[in-house]
Amino acid sequence: MDTHQDARSPLLEVKNLSKYFPIKGGFFSRTQGTVKAVDDVSFYIQPGETLGLVGESGCGKTTVSRLVVRLYEPTSGEIWYGEGDDRSDLARLSQREFRPRRKNIQMIFQDPYASLDPRMTLLQIVGEPLSSNRLASGTELMDRVAEALKMVGLRPEYMSRYPHAFSGGQRQRVGIARALVTRPKFIVADEPVSALDVSVQAQILNLLRDLQDQLDLTYLFIAHDLSVIRHISDRVAVMYVGKLVESASRTELFSNPLHPYTEALMSAVPKPNPKLKTHRILSPGEVADPANPPSGCYFHPRCSYVRDICKTTAPELQEVRTDHFVACHRANELSLQGITAPADSTTRMSN
Ligand code: SF4
| Torsional class of 183: left (φ above 0), alpha (ψ -120 to 50), beta (otherwise) | left
Question: Which ligand 1 atom is nearest residue 304's CA?
Answer: 1
In this structure, of 38-47, 97-106, 232-241, the range with the lowest mean pLDDT score is: 97-106
- Give me the amino acid identity at 252: E
- How many Å lie between the centroid of ligand 1 and the Cα of residue 205? 33
User: pLDDT digits over 213-238, tens only?
Assistant: 999 999 999 999 998 999 899 999 99
**What is the 3-class SS of 307-331, one letter each residue?**
CHHHHHCCCCCEEEECCEEECCCCC
Q: Which is higher by pLDDT, 117 or 27?
A: 117
Task: Enter the pTM of the model.
Answer: 0.90
Contact of 37 with 72, CB cutoff 8 Å? no
**What whole-number distance in Å separates Cα of residue 214 and Cα of residue 217?**
8
- In the beta sheet, which residues pair with residue 14? 43, 79
pLDDT of residue 86: 85
Ranges 134-138, 194-198, 216-220, 276-280: which has the least confidence = 276-280
CA of 315, closest atom in ligand 1 = 5
Question: What is the radius of gyration, based on Cα positions, of the chain?
Answer: 21
Mapped onto helix, strand or coil, the DSSP state of residue 148 is helix
> Which residues 6+ apart lie within 8 Å of 20 measured at CB?
34, 35, 36, 37, 39, 75
Q: Which protein residues touch ligand 1 with a CB less than 6 Å away?
A: 259-260, 297, 299-300, 303, 305-307, 310, 315, 328-330
CA-proximal residue: ligand 1, atom 7 (nearest): 300
Which positions ≥6 away from 210 have C-beta within 8 Å?
A: none
Given ligand 1 and candidates 241, 263, 283, 310, which is best to mutate, with the most ligand atoms within 8 Å of its CB? 310
Atom of ligand 1 nearest to the CA of 245: 6
Interhelix angle for 168-180 vs 122-132, to 10°? 20
Question: Of 63-77, 147-161, 197-211, 270-284, which range is least confident?
Answer: 270-284
Residue type at position 190 = D
Residue minimizing CA distance to atom 5 of ligand 1: 328
CA 269 to mean position of chain CA atoms: 18
Residue type, 20: Y
How many A from CA of 328 to the centre of ligand 1? 5
Q: How many CB atoms lie within 10 A of CB 174?
A: 24
